[in-house]
Amino acid sequence: MAEITCREALNQAMHEEMARDDRIFILGEDVGLYEGSFKVTKGLLARFGDRRVVDTPISEAGIVGLACGAAMIGLRPIAELMTVNFSIVAMDQIMNHVAVARYMFGGRVKVPLVIRAPGGAGHQLGAQHSHSLEPIFLHCPGLRVIVPSVPADAKGLLKSAIRSDDPIMFLEHEGIYGVKGEVPDGDYTIPLGVADIKRPGGDVTLITLSRMVYVCLEAAKQLAAAGIEAEVVDLRGLNPLDMVTVLDSVRKTRRAITVEESWLTGGWGGEVAARIMEEAFDSLDAPVLRVGCADVPMPYNKKLEKAAIPDVARVIARVREIV
Query: In angstroms, rounded to a whole number, what is the distance separating the alpha carbons of residues 186 and 86?
Result: 34
Choose, from 29, 35, 129, 174, the residue flagged as catalytic: 129
CB 118 within 8 A of CB 164: no
State yes or no: is 129 an active-site residue. Answer: yes
CA distances from 75 to 105, 114, 296 (A): 18, 11, 40
CA distances from 288 to 170, 259, 301, 310 (A): 28, 11, 32, 17
State yes or no: is 131 an active-site residue. Answer: no
Closest C-alpha among 94, 157, 83, 74 to residue 117? 83
CA distances from 73 to 5, 70, 113 (A): 34, 5, 11
Query: In angstroms, rounded to a whole number, what is the distance separating the alpha carbons of residues 262 and 64?
Result: 23
Q: Which residues contact 274 (CB under 8 A, 6 or more apart)?
A: none
Kindly report the number of other CB atoms within 10 A of residue 247's CB atom.
17
Beta bridge partners, 237, equal 146
Closest C-alpha among 319, 304, 170 to residue 236? 170
Choose, from 8, 17, 29, 60, the residue flagged as catalytic: 60
DSSP alpha helix (H) spans, the chain: 6-20, 44-48, 60-72, 91-93, 101-104, 134-138, 151-163, 212-225, 243-253, 268-280, 302-308, 312-322
DSSP assignment of 178-241 equals T-EEEE-SSS----TT--EEEE--SSEEEEE-TTHHHHHHHHHHHHHHTT--EEEEE--EEES-
Kindly list the catalytic residues: 60, 129
